[in-house]
Structure 1
Amino acid sequence: MQIFWQLRWYFRQQWRRYAGAIFILILVSLFELLPPRAIGWIVDGVVSGEIDSGTMLLWLGGLAALWGVVYVLRIIWRIWLFGAAAELGSVLRNRLYKHFSSHPPIFFERYKTGDLMARSTNDVNAVVMTAGEGVLTAADSLITGLAVLFIMTTMLSWELTILALLPMPLMAIAVFFLGRQLHTRFSASQAAFSDLTDKTQESLNGVRMVRAFGLEQRQQADFADVVDKVGEKNLAVERVDAKFDPVIQIAIGMSFFLSIAGGAYMVHQGRLTLGDLTAFTLYQGLMIWPMLAMAWLFNILERGSAAWKRLEVIFGVMPDIVSGEQSMPQDNQPLEVAIDRFHWQAQSQPALQDVIFTLSAGQMLGIAGPIGSGKSTLLALLLRQQELEQGSIRYGNVTIRQADLEQWRSRFAVVSQSPFLFSRSIADNIALGRPAATLAQVRAAAKAACIDSDIMQFPEGYQTLVGEKGITLSGGQKQRIAIARALLLEAEILVLDDALSAVDGKTEHQILQNLKRSNLHDPARQHQRQTVIVIAHRLTALEDADNILVLQQGKVAEHGDHAGLLEQDKWYAEMYRYQKLEQAIEGE
């Protein structure tokens, strides 16, 4: 019953629905107490000859009307009760999604996608069943059971009632131990289902790689092993589940045997009439549901409790990064970065150290450096995907810790090296940040990203579906669509995180020139140039940057504009000459 206490917050929210459903359940239970007693009177009347056919038809007509009322009432309480339970599923899934969205990337390294999907589906369904079927079985079995027991004890025969209840303690003990086994095994089966979901997701996402390496048979064997383990866990649950019904049926059978045998003896002794025995057996028939329900209730509660514990584990993981409350300034402000020291938790060597720069509004900042120099780490700190402990990042007079996190990130439009596209049309993907954008605005952004001509070659143009993760597009097309999406957003700071790596040099130059001209800004905003941060391995992308930072081993090894860095004749100049030679050899 602990799960009901844990869900009390939701029961308080929906108390009208639950209270109304339980009230109607009480009415239904009271109405259902009348037919067995009435049938007992009819039997006694027939035996004694005191009832005629007209009276009997009147009684039967009244019972039929009563059952009609019960039918309507059952519909009403089901709508109220199961409607509230279904809404709990929506509440929990929305809460989970919001909780997932509040966590930095490290959370998703700790919990796999398949596991989170399983908790959002199977575990939520088990909790919803507890809030619906669980409440029903608890309330209905308790109300009906106590009411029937009261009638059987006070109005018929308390001795026969005790005799009929003798098998119940044995059933309760058996159900208790079976419930404990079910809790353990159901938790294991849910964990196995998480592994299966994750394996399925990995297999589908990596299907190209699997085929390229000819690993279909091995992958099939690995998947079959996971499926077999899930089957074994589910079979273990079913083995316990299958023991509930025999225990209940045996207890019910023993109860009926004792009541019929004892009742026949009492009728023979003249201590009970045949009509009373008939009514007693009918009431005992009404007791079958409470006995079944109690066993089913244990089953539901153990499943719901196991599922809720898995959800609580996720809800209990607090976000490492908490939003501030200060609003961001309305006008463009300089971005000031002073990183004294930052290192990842698993590493003692700092990923960034003594990185200090100021990016004025409308300027272009280039960031270069070898692999592992800290470029992506710097971007993660700017977007507050990681927390900076030693140092400060400031936009105008607002520090990153003080700022409202959503407002802070809304100032940035980021295009990564591996952009993500949704399984929707090209137009929908470009307009992701501005759903109300017109097709003309979408096309303007696409032209600036040099992808409009490619899109128009598709049979359905901008309404072409890109497939899951943009599988129908090339790497360069996906990058340019992502750039168009960021340009349409018109954020104050545009970040290109090696977002031009999959396009040729000519297209890269054209895109950068389009950014320089700021074609997308409204006429009223022409005086406001967009601030741009370009992280690139291809150094030709940084030629027009106002300032360039060269990171090496997490430190600023060089800084200046393109011409100044060439004069310094260090890593930047050497790499630039090498790339120019490479382009010449390749014919660019």
Structure 2
Amino acid sequence: MKIFLQLGWFFKQEKKAYISGILILLFVAALQLIPPKIIGIIADDIHDRTMTTGILMTWIVVLVVVGLTMYVLRYYWRIMIFGSSVKLSRILRDRLYRHFTMMSPSFYQRSRIGDLMAHATNDLSAIQQTAGAGVLTLVDSLSTGGFVILAMAFTISWKLTLICLIPMPFMAMLTSWFGTMLHKSFHKAQEAFSSLNDKTQESITGIKVIKTFGQEQEDIEDFRKQSEDVVQKNITVAKIDSLYDPTISIIVGISFFLSITFGAKYVLNGELTIGELISFTTYLGLLIWPMLAFGWLFNIVERGRASYDRVATLLKEKVEIIDLQDALDIMPMGDLEYKIKKFTYPGETRPILKEIFFSLKKGETLGIVGKTGSGKTTLLKLLIREFEGYEGEILFGEKALQAYKLEKLREAIGYVPQDHFLFSATVAENIAFTDPEVSNDEIEMAAKLANIHEDILQFTDGYQTVVGERGVSLSGGQKQRISIARALLMNPEVLVLDDSLSAVDAKTEEAILSSLRQNREGKTTIITSHRLSAIQHANLILVLNDGKIVERGNHEELMEKDGWYKEMYLHQQLEELVEHGGHSYG
């Protein structure tokens, strides 16, 4: 029953609804004692030949009134208790979603999407069930059982009551044992479901790759195995769960046998009347629900506890990137300056960046190039505070990045990542993602700057064309340019293009860069690229190798050195000349 203590914060929050619901529930449990007593009285009156039509009608009216009252009151306590449990699900779902949005990329690197989806669906459903049906079952089984036992003992026969309760301790021991096994089995079943969820999401997302490499049958077989694992683990849960009802039925049957055997003896001895024995057995019938409910309660509670433990563990994950208490609520502006001695990713030992020192004046363009894995993207992710924990500081407007609220910092930076992501919405909605209220003219202007406007006009519904999930209906170059348009619409202080022109041809690249140079005067731009023509007009170019700056300067200065930049630039120029028959766009 630890789960009820864990949910204490919620029960306090919703105490009015729960207290009202429980009080009504207790009143209904007390009303249930009336019909068996009346049935016993009627039986005795018939046996003693004292029953009249008037008396019988009176008792019938009482039974009808009691039945209707119980019906109405049950409606109200269900609304109060189940209504509150739905609120718990909503609160936890909101907390989870907020937590997800606040977590750093390192959290998503070590977490599976399927797990996170299972937490937000199956686990929350099990917790909601505990706060609703669990509370109901606990209170109803204890109150009904308690009232019935008291009525049996004090209004009929305490000796017969004790005899009939002899099997009960065995039920308590068995249900406790079943509950422990159920908790472990359900936890394993939930983990298996998370894995299946993750597999499904991964396969659907990567269906093009699966088909391209002809791995459909292998993927289907892998899915079948994981699906079978989920089935087997849930069968284990069902097997344990199925032990409850037979066990309780046997115990109830033994109690009935004892009541009839010893009750008949007491009637023959004159200690009980026929009507009292009938009332007693009817009361015993009322105990069937509390006993069954008690077994069901263990099922609900153990499922809820396993799910709550999983969700609580997730919510305890530390949010790594947070605002300082005195963080400035203003958008940063001004020069950028990197003073980083060393940066290592969490959980790793080898530094990714070393001795990164440079400054960039407001309105200038920075180009960053280097081999794959040299640290270019990492350098940019530190700017938008996706990661921290580096030795040194990064200044924006002569203040450390941490001096600004994270929201304001990211509003000042329009970041276009390598792995561009489009939502399953219209082209216009994707471009206007950061400001849905912008006009169509502003959306079109951003699209023109990104050199995607003409392409959009060729789409079936123009700007109202739905791009499909993750932009599946668009080419790589189109997705990149829509992502750039989305960032340009922000008109950010700093525009960051992280290899965001890799899928467009050299002519389109030059058109986009030319638009940026003309329309972003006074604004800072940072570009990383494997194609050196994209950064040759930059005020400062950094060449990275193994996390270090090995060359720096503008294009002309770097071409005077016999370094990696000059060698790679000449190599790429030669490739373009061959590809375009003697014409270069660089």
Range class of TM-score, shorter chain: over 0.9
**Which amino acid counterpart does residue 561 of structure 2 have in structure 1?**
Q
Map 1:65-214 onto structure 2 (within 5 A).
Answer: 65-214=65-214
- Which residue pairs with 1:492 in the alignment? 493
- The change in CA–CA distance for 1:576 and 1:312 in structure 2 (over 3 A counts) is same
Distance of aligned partners of 1:373 and 1:159 in 2 relative to their CA distance in 1, 3 Å threshold: same
How far apart, CA to CA, are the structure 2 residues paired with 1:306 and 1:429?
39
Residue 571 of structure 2, aligned match among 575, 578, 585? 578
- Identical aligned residues as a percent: 45
Deviation at 1:438, TM superposition (A): 2.2
Q: Is the 8 A contact 2:126 2:307 kept in 1?
A: yes
The corresponding residue for 1:285 is 285
How far apart in 1 are the matches of 2:516 and 2:58?
A: 89
Unmatched 5+ stretches in structure 2: none
Q: CA offsets, 1:434-493, max 9 Å, x none?
A: 121222222221121111211121222222111111111110011011111111122221
Contact preservation (8 Å) 2:330, 2:404 = no
Task: Name the amino acid aligned to 1:208.
Answer: K
Q: Deviations over 1:224-272 (max 9, x none)?
A: 1111111111111111111111001111111111112222221122111
Residue 322 of structure 1 corresponds to 322
Partner of 1:525: none
Counterparts of 1:358 and 1:98, CA distance in 2: 35
Q: Find the counterpart in structure 2 of residue 63 from structure 1.
A: 63
Report deviation, 1:331.
6.1
State the alpha-carbon separation in 2 of the partners of residues 32 and 314 from structure 1: 44
Q: Is the 8 A contact 1:324 1:405 kept in 2?
A: no
Render the CA deviation track for 1:177-217: whole Å, top value 9, x for unaligned.
11111111111111111111111112112211111111112
Q: Secondary structure of 1:51's match?
A: coil
- Secondary structure at 2:21's aligned position in 1? helix
**Equivalent pair of 1:36/1:279 in contact (CA under 8 Å):** yes
Of 547, 550, 559, the residue aligned with 2:540 is: 547
Of stretches 496-505 and 416-425 in structure 1, the one that deviates more from structure 2 is: 416-425
Match of 2:33 in 1: 33
CA contact 1:548–1:559 (8 Å) conserved in 2? yes
Query: 2:293 corresponds to which letter in structure 1?
Result: A
C-alpha distance in structure 1 between counterparts of 2:112 and 2:222, whole Å = 18
Structure 2 CA distance for aligned equivalents of residues 361 and 32 of structure 1:
79
Q: Give me the whole-angstrom Cα distance separating, in 2, the residues matched to 1:435 and 1:273.
A: 79
Task: Tell me if structure 2 keeps the 8 A contact 1:189–1:234.
Answer: yes
Using the TM superposition, give the Cα deviation of residue 161 of structure 1 relative to its aligned residue in structure 2, in angstroms: 0.8
Query: For the residues of structure 2 that align with 1:328 and 1:532, how far apart are their CA atoms?
Result: 23
2:495 match: secondary structure? strand
Report if the CA contact (8 A) 1:179-1:298 is conserved. Answer: yes
| 1:518 is the counterpart of 2:519 | yes
* Corresponding residue number in structure 1 for 2:44: 44
- Which 5+ residue runs of structure 1 have no aligned equivalent? 520-527
Q: 1: distance between equivalents of 2:57 and 2:18?
A: 38
Q: Matches of 1:491 and 1:42 in 2, distance apart?
A: 85
| Gap change, CA 1:173 and 1:330, over 3 Å in 2 | closer
Q: CA 1:245/1:323 → structure 2, altered by over 3 Å: closer, same or farther? A: same
Counterparts of 1:571 and 1:384, CA distance in 2? 30
CA distance in 2, matches of 1:542, 1:429: 27
Deviations 1:133-157 (A, max 9, x none): 1111111111111111111111111
* Distance of 1:235 and 1:331 partners within structure 2: 57
Taking the aligned partners of 1:89 and 1:125, their CA distance within structure 2 comes to 7
Q: 1:531 and 2:524 equivalent?
A: yes
- After superposition, the C-alpha distances for 1:21-55 in whole angstroms (9 at most, x for unaligned) are 11111111122222221222222222223332233
- Structure 2 letter corresponding to 1:123: D
Secondary structure of 1:62 counterpart: helix
Q: 2:369, 2:542 within 8 Å by CA — same for their partners in 1?
A: yes
Deviation, structure 1 residue 18: 1.0
Give the TM-score taking structure 1 as reference length.
Answer: 0.95
Question: Take 1:370 and 1:483, find their aligned partners in 2: how far apart are those partners?
Answer: 23
8 Å CA contact 1:417, 1:499 repeated in 2: yes
Matching residue of 2:439:
438
Aligned to 1:477: 478
Matched, 1:252 2:252: yes
Answer whether contact 1:509 1:541 (CA < 8 A) is retained.
Answer: yes
Instruction: Give the TM-score normalised by the residue count of structure 2.
Output: 0.96
Closer/same/farther in 2, CA of residues 225 and 403 from structure 1, 3 Å limit: same
Residue 5 of structure 1: aligned partner: 5
Aligned twin of 1:556:
549
Matched-pair contact (CA < 8 Å) for 1:329–1:396: no
Amino acid at match of 2:217: Q
Shift of residue 58 of structure 1? Answer: 2.8
Q: Is the 8 A contact 1:102 1:319 kept in 2?
A: yes
CA shift digits 1:254-298 (9 cap, x unpaired):
111111222222112211111111211221121111111111111
Q: CA deviation at 1:420?
A: 0.8
Tell me the SS of whatever aligns to 1:401.
helix
Distance 1:536 1:208 in 2: 26
Distance in 2, Cα, partners of 1:353 & 1:106: 20
Q: Is the 8 A contact 2:41 2:275 kept in 1?
A: yes
Q: Report if the CA contact (8 A) 1:138-1:297 is conserved.
A: yes
Moved more, 21-30 or 543-552: 543-552
SS of match in other structure, 2:255: helix
Q: Deviations over 1:279-320 (max 9, x none)?
A: 112211211111111111111111111112222221222123
Q: Secondary structure at the match of 1:223?
A: helix
Using the TM superposition, give the Cα deviation of residue 72 of structure 1 relative to its aligned residue in structure 2, in angstroms.
1.5
AA aligned opposite 1:369: G
Partner SS state of residue 87, structure 1: helix
Change (3 A) 1:171 1:330: closer
Classify the secondary structure of the residue corresponding to 2:402.
Answer: coil
Q: Equivalent residues in 2 for 1:219-238 (5 A)?
A: 219-238=219-238
**1:338-417 to 2 correspondence within 5 Å?**
338-345=339-346, 347-417=348-418
Check the 8 A contact 2:331/2:409 in 1, yes or no: no
C-alpha contact (below 8 Å) 1:393/1:400 kept by paired residues: yes
Q: Is the 8 A contact 1:20 1:77 kept in 2?
A: yes
Structure 1 stretch displaced more, 149-158 or 551-560 = 551-560
Distance 1:414 1:330 in 2: 15
Q: State which drifts further: 254-263 or 472-481.
A: 254-263
Question: Who is 1:271 aligned against?
Answer: 271
Contact in 2 for aligned 1:518/1:529 (Cα 8 Å): no
Structure-1 separation of matches of 2:315 and 2:348? 28
Q: Structure 2: which amino acid aligns with 1:431?
A: A
Tell me: CA distance 1:406–1:444, structure 2 relative to 1, closer, same or farther (3 Å).
same
C-alpha distance in 2 between matches for 1:66 and 1:270 = 31
SS in 2 for 1:490: coil
Once the two structures are TM-superposed, the CA of residue 328 in structure 1 deviates from its matched residue by 4.7
Distance in 2, Cα, partners of 1:61 & 1:410: 72
Local SS of the residue matching 1:568: coil
Is the contact made by 1:182 and 1:302 (CA closer than 8 Å) also made in structure 2?
A: yes
Report the AA paired with residue 304 of structure 1: G
Instruction: Read off the aligned partner of 1:287 and give its amino acid letter.
Output: L
Query: Which residue identity is paired with 1:530?
Result: K
Label 1:18 to 1:148 Cα distance change in 2 as closer, same or farther (>3 A). same
